Amino acid sequence: MKGIKAKISLLVSLVLLSCVLISACSKSSISKKQTTVRVAEVTRSIFYAPQYVAIEKGFFKKEGIKVDLKTTWGGDKTMTALLSNGTDIALVGSETSIYVYAQGASDPVINFAALTQTDGTFLVARKKPAVFSWEQLKGKEYLGQRKGGMPEMAGEFTLKKHGIDPHKDIKLNQSIDYANIPNAFAAGTGDYVQLFEPQASLFEKKGIGYIVASFGSESGKLPYTSYMAKQGYLKENKDVIERFTRALYKAQLWVENHSAKETAKVIAPYFEDTPMDIIETVVDRYKNQHSYATSPILEENAWNHLLTIMQEAGELPKKVDYKTLVNSEIAKKAVK
């Protein structure tokens, strides 16, 4: 099976079966007095700067929370960790909660706080154009992201917005594994590539490629990366989740009100292999296009836009109402 939706379908089936066979999924396994919160992030990214600021500036600590952070490298792996109680909270694209819900999970995954509110990828061209236009992509090889994932869906939405059919007008290449896309482009495959930071800026610095457009600016406001937990966990750990979200909000305000240089210095320990000037450049770029959410409240219009993008990409298994998979009350209480 190909694509994140198929993988999540399989993992939900396996987890539901395991919940019947073992007691790991019982509610009694969740401690109401828990102060250590296990968080699984889908990838390590400067895109998630407020999260690292919340840890480094002690905002979680001040709320009595110790964050046990691990990187799970992929939406399917992140949801596996969450559904099997391998983590308490997942930081991943909101589309994954829809995939899980559509598979009939007995304990649905609920989005409770937004971290990013736009797509985080950029269009990188092999040759720097004197003036860029989307028409230049027609007939060219384009290295896309994984089918069913939010980057690919936001990318296709943007292409269609500019009159380009991603399956007819360009040579869409989705045969390359996510982790190997940058290396493939650097080795000479493709005329254009959709990349996250800091890879896009690193390529530009080295002359491998040139950033010509932002999918974040083009595709609109989205619940792109959100914190989510199983409904049962939210109910049994309400106070912990409220404190977690309050700490996150403090970090979001800190990033908004401080320079890219100041934020870069705080989060640098999480990106030891990335030059400081690149970290600063990336933070500044994300701030300027308003990719970092300045509030944990996941808005209904952004959720509906997500559904539209998924539907246009042919990846929406079923339309899920905002209130079904979003708990906005926690975030609203945190910002008061």
Strands (E), 264-312: none
Task: Determine the pLDDT at residue 13.
Answer: 59
Contacts of 229 (CB under 8 A, 6+ apart): 82, 88, 89, 90, 109, 110, 112, 241
Task: Determine the pLDDT at residue 7.
Answer: 65
The label of the residue with tokens 């399989």 reads: 10
Task: Determine the pLDDT at residue 325.
Answer: 98
pLDDT tens for each residue of 21-64: 444 444 433 334 448 999 999 999 999 999 999 999 999 999 99
DSSP string, 185-229: HHTT--SEEEEETTHHHHHHHHTS-EEEEEHHHHH-----EEEEE
Amino acid at 65: I
Cα–Cα distance, 296 to 85 (Å, whole number): 24
Task: Determine the pLDDT at residue 94.
Answer: 97
Cα–Cα distance, 254 to 239 (Å, whole number): 23
Task: Determine the pLDDT at residue 3.
Answer: 64
Greatest C-alpha distance within the chain: 62
Going along the chain from its start, the domains and CATH numbers come out as 4-118+221-335 (3.40.190.10), 121-219 (3.40.190.10)
The strand pairing partners of 226, in sequence order, are 92, 114
Task: Determine the pLDDT at residue 20.
Answer: 44
Task: Determine the pLDDT at residue 12.
Answer: 63
Helices (H), 70-194: 75-83, 95-102, 150-161, 181-186
Please identify every stretch of the chain with a pLDDT value under 50, giving residue numbers as ranges: 1, 19-34
Task: Determine the pLDDT at residue 21.
Answer: 46
Cα–Cα distance, 284 to 233 (Å, whole number): 35
The label of the residue with tokens 């770029």 reads: 285
Tokens of 39: 């968080």
Task: Determine the pLDDT at residue 30.
Answer: 38
Task: Determine the pLDDT at residue 34.
Answer: 45
Nearest alpha-carbon partner for 104 in 12, 196, 204: 12
Contacts of 133 (CB under 8 A, 6+ apart): none
pTM of the model: 0.89
The label of the residue with tokens 């406001």 reads: 221
Cα–Cα distance, 294 to 201 (Å, whole number): 24
Task: Determine the pLDDT at residue 250.
Answer: 98
Cα–Cα distance, 138 to 140 (Å, whole number): 5
Is residue 138 a contact partner of residue 165, using CB atoms and an 8 Å limit? no
